[in-house]
Amino acid sequence: EYPKPQVITLPDIKGKSLKVVKIACGEKHTLLLDGHGNVFGWGDNSAGQLFQETGANQYVVKYPKLLKTVSKL
């Protein structure tokens, strides 16, 4: 069974208004590009899909997180 779609809130970045430009969905993770070139990710990170260190507490990112490793595209 798949989770139901839900509305998400992006983190505030220094008071900037965020406009979603693109969304890419993997099997269990999602990436989002905003109009300022910031990349956010959430979902399964078990193989490092979200460019975060993998570890027992890093497998699932429940809320959009700014991915500084790939920001400013």
List the chain pLDDT tens, one digit each, 73 residues: 666 777 777 777 776 767 889 999 888 889 999 888 888 888 888 877 787 665 555 667 777 888 876 655 5
Q: In what order do the strands lie in the sheet with 20-25?
A: 20-25, 29-34, 39-44, 60-66
Return the pLDDT at 23. 92
> How much is the pTM?
0.71
pLDDT of residue 27: 87
Q: Which of 13, 2, 57 is nearest to 35 (CA)?
A: 13
